[in-house]
């Protein structure tokens, strides 16, 4: 499904379902250099179990036109305009990595509009190493290699994809390779420069469900402690045998946690 936001065509995956005004809506927000497809397992499930789904491609990502936005705040404000374009007054939101920072910022900017938020693979601050930023700035494949290596638990590098016939690390690499030059660096820099996350967290009034990977080295569990302490209503699950790419590494667990959480509201 394509809609126009800020004069640019924007793609969102709906699970092949038309929007129903009688159903609640969930926005799924992807991470740095990625697109809506990282949420395919979870978004399709929600679409067939009583929710409208908007797994959206951010500007300059995937099938969406426009230029990648430079700040998490800009992305969050754009997300709210997306909700307006779809006629969604109140909604649920789930984000992964950079998307989790966007979801956090959305919930702080419009606390009266968010039913509940899911933050997957989230840490505040979300520092990015200089070596990764430099590689991404120079559009070197090293950046993709580092994200693939650091982003998955060790066992994922030799197989074990829950989706039969799929290559977990290779799929992530191919997806990152599809990003336009400069997009990955833009996104990583936005994460690295997002410094007011704890202040934003204090403004969030909805329940927040955090899903963290025990083996995540990009957004380690300890990196979420300050955020958890700053939220009024934080519910935390740490998944074993899981790195930073939680929706691919533990798709069923992420789906079930978010489904149960969003049905509670």
pLDDT digits (tens, 9 = 90+) for 39-85: 999 999 999 999 999 999 999 999 999 999 999 999 999 999 999 99
Residues 6+ apart with CB under 8 A from 1: 11, 12, 13, 14
Residues 6+ apart with CB under 8 A from 52: 14, 17, 19, 20, 23, 24, 25, 26, 88
For the four alpha carbons of 159, 162, 163 and 165, in that order, the dihedral sign comes to: positive
- Res 161: pLDDT: 62
* Residues of the chain predicted below pLDDT 70: 155-167, 265
- Res 56: pLDDT: 98
For residues 205 and 230, the answer to whether their CB atoms sit within 8 Å is: no
Burial of 201 (0-12, 13-18, 19+ CB in 10 A): buried
- Res 158: pLDDT: 62
Structural domains in the chain, sorted by start: 2-126+194-264 (3.40.50.1820)
For the whole prediction, is pTM greater than 0.85?
yes
- Res 167: pLDDT: 57
For residues 212 and 239, the answer to whether their CB atoms sit within 8 Å is: yes
């Amino acid at each position: 499904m394509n809609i126009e936001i800020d004069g640019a065509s924007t793609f969102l995956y709906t699970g092949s379902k038309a929007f129903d005004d009688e159903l609640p809506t969930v926005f799924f927000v992807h991470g740095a250099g990625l697109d809506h497809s990282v949420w395919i397992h979870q978004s399709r499930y929600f679409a067939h179990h009583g929710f409208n789904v908007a797994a959206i491609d951010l500007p300059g990502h995937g099938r969406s036109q426009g230029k990648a936005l430079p700040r998490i705040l800009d992305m969050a404000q754009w997300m709210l305009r997306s909700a307006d374009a779809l006629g969604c007054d109140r909604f649920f939101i789930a984000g992964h990595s950079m998307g989790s920072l966007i979801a956090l910022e959305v919930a702080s900017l419009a606390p009266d509009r968010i039913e509940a938020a899911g933050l997957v693979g989230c840490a505040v601050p979300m520092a990015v190493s200089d070596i990764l930023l430099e590689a991404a700035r120079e559009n070197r494949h090293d950046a993709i290699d580092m994200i693939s290596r650091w982003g998955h638990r060790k066992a994922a590098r030799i197989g074990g994809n829950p989706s039969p016939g799929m290559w977990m690390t290779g799929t992530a690499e191919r997806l990152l390779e599809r990003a336009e030059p400069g997009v990955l660096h833009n996104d990583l820099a936005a994460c690295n420069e997002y410094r007011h996350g704890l202040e934003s967290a204090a403004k969030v009034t909805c329940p927040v469900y955090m899903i963290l990977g025990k083996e995540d080295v990009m957004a380690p569990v300890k990196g979420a402690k300050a955020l958890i302490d700053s939220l009024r209503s934080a519910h935390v699950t740490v998944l074993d045998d899981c790195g930073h790419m939680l929706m691919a590494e533990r798709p069923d667990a992420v789906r079930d946690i978010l489904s149960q959480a969003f049905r509670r509201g």
